Amino acid sequence: MIVAIDGPAASGKGTLARRLAAHYGLPHLDSGLLYRAVAHHVAARGGDLHDPEAATQAARALDAATLGDPALRGRHAGEGASIVSAHPGVRAALLDFQRSFAATPPGAVIDGRDIGTVICPDAEVKIFVTASAEERARRRASELAGRGEPVDQAAILEDIRRRDERDTTRAVAPLKAADDAVTLDTTNLDAEAAFRAALAIVEGNPKRRRTA
């Protein structure tokens, strides 16, 4: 079974994807890490994130073994990822890795921005997870505070809005719900309630194939 989970920054798609993957015994891919790794690679070499050549080369040379680097989880990598991800060459270079991850039995849960629309248009289950920008900023702020990092909620909200704008308006693979995705608005749902709602979507999906 392939489960595609898309949505804007800090909507909780990663949290949901991890829980669904554990529940169904499927591997999970956080596709945002791929773009974060590309941005990190370019920046670490003093390159320009807006340069399509530099970013595309970094995407072609990407080593999936580096995806666990904690530096990729930071705010700068997220901001950089939203810049490099707009280059068509970067997206093309990362396509095969994601598709083969999904196509390897028994399937996968993948979260990102274009999983249901571009990477896995035939996924059995597609969920578009969303929440208000204010609630997403609140969640991100409490995540950072929990890690002992400085928190400026207004700056985080601005960050989220800027990322939403870039991700939804870029020419290639913009963030949007696939026509056959079920939208799950988690603004008023805690993580447990969101998981229960997602589970109901998977279980109720007629295209779902049993994997066990």
Ligand X SMILES: Nc1ccn([C@@H]2O[C@H](COP(=O)(O)O)[C@@H](O)[C@H]2O)c(=O)n1
Q: Which is nearer to ligand ATP, 11 or 205 (CB)?
A: 11
Binding flag, residue 137, ligand ATP (CB under 6 A): no
Binds 191: which of ligand ATP, ligand X, none (CB < 5-8 Å by kind): ligand ATP
Q: Using the rule CB under 6 A, give the single segment among 17-25, 51-59, 81-89, 100-108 that binds ligand X.
A: 81-89
Minimum separation from the CB atom of position 206 to ligand ATP (A): 26
- Those residues whose C-beta lies under 8 Å from the C-beta of residue 39, and which sit 6 or more positions away, are 49, 55, 77, 79, 80, 81, 83, 84
Distances (CA, A) of 168 to 1, 14, 111, 130, 134: 27, 19, 16, 13, 18
Q: At what angle do helices 133-146 and 153-169 cross, to 10 degrees?
A: 120
Binding-residue pattern over the window 44 to 83 for ligand ATP, x denoting contact by CB under 6 A: ----------------------------------x-----
15 binds, options ligand ATP, ligand X, none, Cβ within 5 to 8 A by partner type: ligand ATP
Q: Which amino acid would we find at residue 167?
A: D
176 is in an annotated binding site: no
With contacts defined by CB under 6 A, name the span among 3-11, 52-60, 102-110, 171-179 that binds ligand ATP. Answer: 3-11
CA distance 173 to 93: 13
Annotated binding site for ATP: 7-15
| Contact positions vs ligand X (CB under 6 A) | 9, 31-32, 35-36, 78, 81-82, 85, 112-115, 163, 167
